[in-house]
Structure 1
Amino acid sequence: MAKNTSGMVDPAIFDYLQSKIDEDTEIRDQVKTILQDLEKHGRHSQASLAKAHSTQASQYGTIVEETEISIADQINVVERLAGTASRYPYYKYNSLWSRDIQNTMFHVLLCGWLGGSLGLGNGYQGRLLTLEEVGRVLKVPINLKDRDAFHLTIEEYLHALITLIDELSRLAINAVIQADFAISLQVSKFIKDIYAGFQILNLKNDSLRRRSDSIKYSVKKVEDIVYDLSLRNLIPKET
């Protein structure tokens, strides 16, 4: 390109900038279209999982089976998202999907806690899936450092875990309504263990640190439930 010596601003500069803006907009639109599908299937998963609040623990199996079908649909969409997102700089666009991925990870975590196997072998109630296991379920890598590609982050996992705790504290309350007192006790022990684990972490992410502060309120809420059940002799002494 010939050097401009006329003192005039070359309009080609702005043509180039507009082309980059258009390119960025097209990428974002592609990602948002995929995320609409992820949100749709996520609503199905959430609707299935919500049934646990009005169901005896002995019937969780039916909820898990239904949820695993919609999670399979989410996995397919995540695969599409990973294929698209990995063509571009990860940290330039990950804010577009991070919240939806956190929700998807939460659905996987709750389904696993309710006893879902999710293709990982025999499931059992009260199970905490690790970040590595969630990555295997969703068929995407975790916490990548060696290449710029789509992956699940530790922060997204911890956000999903906090959402799980919030949901389980609700479940502990609703289990009492179902006269399923053992579930409240199980939830109490589980979230206490998670809370203890969070105390070890030195969280740098401001949003994550603020959200983690709420865990103690969930613990206290469920402790009050268990204490009330104990006063009413509704929990066996040996537990």
Structure 2
Amino acid sequence: MTSNTAANMIDPSIFEYLQAHGAEEIEVGERLHQLTSALNRHISTCQGLLSRIHSTPSQKLSPLLQQVEETGIKPEIVAIGELARFTSNYPYYKYNHRFTRSVQNVVSTMLLTAWLGGLGTESRPGELGRLLTIEEVGEILQVPVNLKDRDAFHVTIEEYLLALTDVMEELSRLAMNSVTMGDVGLTVRISAFVKDLFAGFQLLNLRNDIVRKRIDGVKYHVKKVEDVIYDLSLRNLLPKAEGE
């Protein structure tokens, strides 16, 4: 008699609520999986094309960068737009962990393409060594950045910084391969850039453990490039400055 009375005290609506929201969670998860899978396919295409920079002299990069923009970055922008529209209907940081790595990869492909001279506009033509700001990344992707006033999809500062560490790793590899291709000038440009960027990192007051660890690891990429430059200097292969 007592057990029946206790059972009747439980409100059935509690389980109805849990069932309804549990079903919604599953639907949201499935849709997010579809959207991120499509985005990751475009990222893989873009990264695959960008991998060719390690066997392409900088003087011949223009056709490759055009292909990267058309078949890689433009589809990424469309996929990011679809993801942004869907996720903005839900609390951002509830599902952010499902797609933040993909967003970081998109940003890194954009940063690397722009640095190599791609993603130029009429107002700002592409040039070697250009670093896109986080605001410029947001403009190209047509999404907000570093949102503080509302809960919606955006590119975070952490995603931008992590993307920069990916770019530095790729450029340190390119510095060595450029020497192999006889493009020592590009190696020198990369050396100056990674040093400046690493110096900028040192000014940041980082509280995110993941970002701090990744940026601490950047020093090894800087050293790798410095070793290449040192070896070139010993062989007297560095390009002479004007008037020297």
TM-score when scaled to structure 1?
0.95
Name the counterpart of 1:13. Answer: 14
Q: Structure 1 CA distance, aligned partners of 2:25 and 2:236?
A: 62
Unpaired segments ≥5 residues, structure 2: none
Matched, 1:196 2:199: yes
| Alpha-carbon offset, residue 179 of structure 1 | 1.1
Kindly provide the amino acid, as one letter, of the partner of residue 132 in structure 2.
L
Name the counterpart of 2:165. Answer: 162
RMSD of equivalent CA atoms: 1.4
Q: Structure 2 CA distance, aligned partners of 1:231 and 1:155?
A: 39
Alignment map for 1:32-47 (pairs within 5 Å)? 32-47=33-48
Name the counterpart of 2:60. Answer: 59
Percent identity, aligned pairs only, is 47
Name the counterpart of 1:133. Answer: 136
| Alpha-carbon offset, residue 16 of structure 1 | 1.8
Alignment map for 1:220-239 (pairs within 5 Å)? 220-238=223-241
Q: Is the contact between residue 104 and residue 159 of structure 2 (CA under 8 Å) also seen in structure 1?
A: yes
Q: Structure 1 CA distance, aligned partners of 2:26 and 2:124?
A: 42
Deviation per CA, 1:59-80, whole angstroms, max 9, x where unpaired? 1111110110120011001000
Alignment map for 1:11-160 (pairs within 5 Å)? 11-69=12-70, 70-119=72-121, 121-160=124-163
Unpaired segments ≥5 residues, structure 1: none
Q: Structure 2 CA distance, aligned partners of 1:192 and 1:22?
A: 51
Q: Classify the secondary structure of the residue corresponding to 2:6.
A: coil
Q: Is the contact between residue 185 and residue 239 of structure 2 (CA under 8 Å) also seen in structure 1?
A: no
Q: Is the contact between residue 115 and residue 131 of structure 2 (CA under 8 Å) also seen in structure 1?
A: yes
Q: Structure 1 CA distance, aligned partners of 2:240 and 2:116?
A: 25
Distance change (3 Å), C-alpha of 1:151 and 1:214: same
Kindly provide the amino acid, as one letter, of the partner of residue 83 in structure 1.
R
Q: Is the contact between residue 68 and residue 118 of structure 1 (CA under 8 Å) also seen in structure 2?
A: no
| Alpha-carbon offset, residue 121 of structure 1 | 3.0
Q: Is the contact between residue 184 and residue 239 of structure 2 (CA under 8 Å) also seen in structure 1?
A: no
Q: Structure 2 CA distance, aligned partners of 1:25 and 1:135?
A: 30
Kindly provide the amino acid, as one letter, of the partner of residue 196 in structure 1.
A
Deviation per CA, 1:14-64, whole angstroms, max 9, x where unpaired? 232122111111112111101111111111111111110001000111111
Q: Is the contact between residue 82 and residue 150 of structure 1 (CA under 8 Å) also seen in structure 2?
A: yes
Distance change (3 Å), C-alpha of 1:100 and 1:27: same
In terms of mean alpha carbon deviation, does 116-125 or 139-148 score higher?
A: 116-125
